[in-house]
Amino acid sequence: MKHWGLFLVVLAFTACHDDQPEQTYYITPEMSGIAAGCPGIQERIAISSNCDWGIESTPEWCSAQKVTAGGREYLAVEVMPNYDENPRQTFVTLSYDRTSIPVYVTQAGERAPAPMQWYTFPTNWFSDITYEPSDGSGPRKYRITAFELAVSPSWRTQIFPGNLIDRHAPGRKLTDYADKYTFNPIILAASTYGIKELAKPSLEATNAWVKELVAKSPHQSSGFFCQSPIRYTSYRQLHLLGLGNAGLNLDELVSGESYSGKEMEKRTGMIYTYSHELIRIFVGEFPQNLITETVSDEERREMSYINGVAYGRTAWLLVESDDNFQETRNVVSKIMREESLNTKEQRIRENLAAYYIRFDDKGDVQTEKGGDELIGAFSRGIGTLSILPVNFTTNRFENHAVGQMEITFDLP
């Protein structure tokens, strides 16, 4: 009987021992979630726990790892850039045994650009850009005032130091008075410290002097300005940027017809452009009597004379792609730097379309259409294209004050 009593006591003790509660594990993040913008983020979240927790699988765009620093454990999360317009979300799950805790991760998408966003090319210095919105039946009416203005192809014979012009260019049509008045002798100065006296302001004489100066010092450089890249999302926007900045119908040069008849097919477009100014020729002294004729005060107020012209190079590279803007931009940058591309980048390169727009030695517009080979041609052209008038500045005819040109045009 004593043996049976001892057996029952042991059995009772064992039963009581098996009924003890299991070990409880906890994993407590300092933050319950992460909200990232489209550029991405790197974040550390302190974790309190009583177990050796781990991380379950995460999507490719969100990496996570367990790190220790200063005697504490952290969840280190890196969210990659989101180049898509759609937001995305996921969970980073921390777990041990049967305990699991989710950390919520959200990321905003890339904001869609404004459909008719304005950008200024580096050949210009605009003081104001405004437009009157369309009433639904008529066009937008744009008005641009400029201290420094690009020389558009249709103006090439009118732009030279000392020429007298109307400071208004309605419809982007420039009026000059080279054949209307009798001009007096003029002194010109160059940024290379040269001086030239002309019998009168002259396109031919100025161009000949510029050639002499360049021949003496072909590698001089007074300024390089670039804007790369400018994003466009429609040929209507491309038309606006080309016409407003350079007097060029870029949409027609790219597609062969107006945006009103053929819109952009690819997802996004980029404009790479620069202004490489080599020499600036300007009026050396204020001409007290630029012309021999006398004009009324009212006429003088509307006149300006060309005070300075920058000679150099400019061109445009347009790249269009169905891939997202940032990834295409990165590929173009790598091609320009002649860096190797990974498999995904090679696919982007093969599917892009490129257009190289430049001026020949006569100032006529030339357009080449192709692929990534034109990216290299654009880069090489910075140092090899013909030297032509790039932009100009004006002074007021009435008082020699710094002038501003006013351009107006309609956008249907």
338 sits in which H/E element:
none
CA nearest 172: which of 140, 144, 130, 131?
144
At 10 the pLDDT is 42
The full DSSP string for 153-222 is GGGTTT-STT-EEESEEETT---B-TTTSPBPPEEEEETTS-EEEESS--HHHHHHHHHHHHHH-TT--S
Q: Which tokens is 327 given?
A: 């990834």
- Measuring CA to CA, how many Å separate 219 from each of 316, 357, 384? 22, 23, 11
Q: Which tokens is 406 given?
A: 């006013």
What domains are there in the chain, each with its CATH number?
Answer: 25-107 (2.60.40.10), 125-411 (no CATH)
CA atoms within 13 A on the CB side of 363: 15
At 371 the pLDDT is 95
DSSP H helix total and E strand total for the chain:
8, 21
Residue 296 CB coordination number (10 Å): 7
Q: Does 218 sit behind a cis peptide bond, omega within 30 degrees of 0 on the bond before it? A: no
At 38 the pLDDT is 86
Q: How many Å apart are CA 171 and CA 139, to the nearest integer?
A: 13
| Residue that the structure tokens 């009416």 belong to | 141
pTM of the model: 0.80
Q: How many Å apart are CA 214 and CA 220, to the nearest integer?
A: 8
25 sits in which H/E element:
none
pLDDT along the chain (412 residues), means of 10: 45 48 88 91 94 92 94 94 88 94 92 83 96 83 97 96 97 95 95 90 96 81 82 96 98 95 93 95 87 93 96 97 93 96 96 97 96 95 94 95 96 91
The full DSSP string for 359-373 is E-TTS-EEEEEESTH
Q: How many Å apart are CA 48 and CA 28, to the nearest integer?
A: 5
400 conformational bin, left if phi > 0, alpha if psi -120 to 50, beta if neither = left
CA angle (32, 110, 88) in 5-degree steps: 40
CA gyration radius, the chain = 34
| Residue that the structure tokens 């654009």 belong to | 378
